Amino acid sequence: MTKATAGINTEYRDGIKFPLALLASAIVLQGTFAVVGLNGYAISSADVGGEDQKCIGIWEFDAENTGANGEAFGVVCRNKHFLVANSSTDPVTQAELGSLIYIEDNQTVAKTDGAGTRSVAGIFMGFDTEYTTHVWVEIT
């Protein structure tokens, strides 16, 4: 494609909710981390927690792909703060405010990358006053 020489209409979306292609046989669960593997397809919620994964957001609904890679989609929510469980063995503390924190399992974050075994969840944005075992994480 050649460069534009006049104004063009570029389509956009807000990026808060969007479809994400699922890996073959993937089952994802509402409210858990939406994570893709190295191939770019969303992996099952049961498989979340490895070092070669990228957190895209949080699943809006349960979804299942009974076909080949990319034949089904789940709805991901992102560009928000999400309230998730804080690790009991590697807890996020006030000192991490504004810092990257890591996925321990499909609904829990940890302070460290577990010596390179955990992927980034997002940025720690504070504690909750009602749910004291949970923390706010910004996923963009």
**pLDDT at position 22, please?**
98
Domain with 117, as residue range(s), is: 80-139
**Is the domain of 35 the same as that of 73?**
yes
**Is the domain of 56 the same as that of 92?**
no
Alpha-carbon distance of 59 to 49, in angstroms, equals 15
Share the mean pLDDT of the chain: 97
Is residue 90 situated within a structural domain?
A: yes
**pLDDT at position 1, please?**
84
Residue 31 in this model has a pLDDT that exceeds 90:
yes
Alpha-carbon distance of 73 to 49, in angstroms, equals 21
User: Region 121-127: what's the mean pLDDT?
Assistant: 98
**pLDDT at position 30, please?**
98
**Is the domain of 129 the same as that of 106?**
yes
Q: Judging by DSSP bridges, how do beta strands 80-86 and 108-110 pair with one another?
A: parallel
**Is the domain of 71 the same as that of 121?**
no
